[in-house]
Chain A
Amino acid sequence: MSAKQNTQEVTAYKPYSWQAILEFRAMWVLLALGLVLPFVISKPLATEIMIYALFALAFNLMLGHTGIISFGHAGYLGAGAYAGAMVVYYGGVGVWVSLLAAMAGGTVIAVLIGLLAVKRKGAYFAMISLAIAQMLYFLALSPFKRWTDGEDSLKLPPLSVDFPFHIDLSDQLSLYYFVFVIVALAVLVQWRILSSPFGHALKGIRENEDRIRACGFNITRIKFLSIVYSGLFSGLAGGLLAIYLGAASITILFWMTSGIVVMQTVLGGTHTFMGPFIGTAVFLYLRNAISNYTDRWEMWVGAMFMALILLFPEGIWGTVMQKIGERRRPSAS
């Protein structure tokens, strides 16, 4: 390794590198903290943090790990929420089937966007994904009003799980632990995906696409899979969100949802695994706290986000990892 390292090399983690080990430990610490979270902050906020953290992790599969800028994640989340809610509302099926439908919903939209735009780079992908998500918003708003109830969200009856044992989801604490277990499993699956050779190929594409192509990898196929995985987990988050809200609401599909997940992810650190999780927790906690004092939430979040981009582009967790890396460097090289 050359003496002159750039920040990218410091934050990109390698198999069994100190970064990967640190991330792995951070993941278990955060999941352990998740067990006691509803006793520290309010239960609905804790549930929301878990759901959006899963969403942000799924989003970061594309942005942080593959380097694809997506502004259409509201589409995946919303498709998941509506698919999950509609099978319950019209089909009367149980919660597990609803979550499967939500994953399918997110995946279908991801495949659609992937087919249209997988070969487009950078800004182009951002624009196309944003446009497709806006299309879904307007579709749900008026032409498909008959099925989605348009601006009145599609409301669900109180739900409960009967398999493997009875869980009453209208109880806030049971709902939290139900969501927590699913999110924790999804986080572990994502960790597994990213530690696989496929996961390393994703990082390779982010760092140097041409070199990975020269190594004989099928870039288009790998990128497409990354989009599909992202859609799958976002859809799952959408299904959980519909259960948590007791409704599939049109605001989920609004472009602001895509913007918020971008901000949460960047706040935590895009070039890390657990960054989006941390970013989401901080973001939602702050939003909850600040909105008690002011109506001007958007102004503050906009200004703070601009400051973040200018001063700490690696985010909270990314900056911490960078600092640790700087301290380690003399002995590591």
Chain B
Amino acid sequence: MRSGEKKPDLDSDLSKRLLGGRPLSRRQFLKTAGVAGAAIGLGTGVGGLLAGCGDGGSSGTTGASGDVIKIGIMGPMADPTGMNVLRPAEMMIKKINAAGGIIGKQIEIVGPIDDHWETAQAITAYETLLKEGVHVILSGSDDNVESALLSRIGQNPDVLYLSMFASTQGHMVNVRDDYEKFKGYFMFTAIDDGLYYCVEEPAIMLKEKFGWNKAYMIREDMVWTEGIEQYFKDSAPQKGFEIVGIDVVPLDVEDLTPYFRNAEKAGAQMIWTMISVFGEKLANQAWDSKVPIAMFGHNGILNDYGYWERSNGAWGPMATTSTWGSLEKHSPEWRDFLTEWFTTYSDDPRTPMWLGECTWRGIKAYQEAVERAGTIETDAVIKELEMTYYPDAPVAGGFYGPGEGIWPHTWAMPIDEAERAKADPTRGEGLWMSSTLNPMTQWQPKEIAPADSFVLPGTPDDYGRLVTIWPPALAGGEYQLPPFFPESPNA
């Protein structure tokens, strides 16, 4: 030992730290590893609890008041999903209040309360909002989480629950079969069959253009995709597609390469993706793996403006429910709203994914319903909400009431195209279907995107363009083959 060097303290040396100097026994290791496993498993929950401290409650004045309309916000708020409910609400409510409110009443935002994608915390969030005396809840909770809220929603029919995320048909069975209990529930995302057909329709377009007919489905392991798989099995063969495989992917998937490989080995020419959570991961990995198969579907946050930068321009797969592609084709109202959103916030999400557009429709629909009713009394507002119809919305459609069709209170549209153009189309049994008009979009490099694509102010010149390729009314360009496709002109 060198002079001046501290003598080791044998009382506190490592052998003592090694559990009293004894060998690390199997039981001790198991005990510790077991606690570790439990802690990891609970990690998100604990993190959620920690993160949840301090949120919730009213962000403005508290206490019920006849002059205030309280709108509660809940959802996964640390995620772009929740922000797609909060941001449009903040922007729109600020404007509504500045213009004098709705029928003279100011709107107060209660929350947002984070559900952390978890059932228990969503129940707490929902009940907290009820205690705060909200009149309306704008919810970004996902299908699985919302399933657990349904019984509570049924017990509180006087509080409007505007669902922005969920699409599960099973939720709407409640409204159809037990209207009085569930009259306050409105689903702004298209119900399952609408979400299916807004993928199948562009698939038909690609089949006709490229001759591709071998279809493969990759769906996330969530309740909403189960119904869609059934539609796929039933409908796709009738439209001339050969189903060559289906994969169900867990939500916490890391590596999607094996699924791409399965599709390649099955001879797939198209991969239909039904994903709300890991679409961005899928797009990145498909680009890196150079998967020469057209890939498109509900890829969730792949739609967001920041994707191009985050992914270093990985533009292979397409995403539907993207409501800000080819903005030059949209109504000035929506384009202006998007521009305002983009310039108001400097961090992602700077443009909406589908929930953002749902929330925009939701707040507009509520405002107009209250103004038409002249009151915030729930039954009167519900009756007016059931008359909502927006032919100019990015996802055109509206609601109908009980006795007017199969799925009252789901976002739907007339089957007859001529009827769709009317401000107040005829409602009735067999006349409407779930809206299939979610736009299918593809990120394209500036060099191959249409030159007249609308560019949000401040976008870097070399940034990608989000181009809508379907439906025809909103399409600003055509599908471009990624450079690693054998026949691609963009190689």
Say whether A associates with B: no
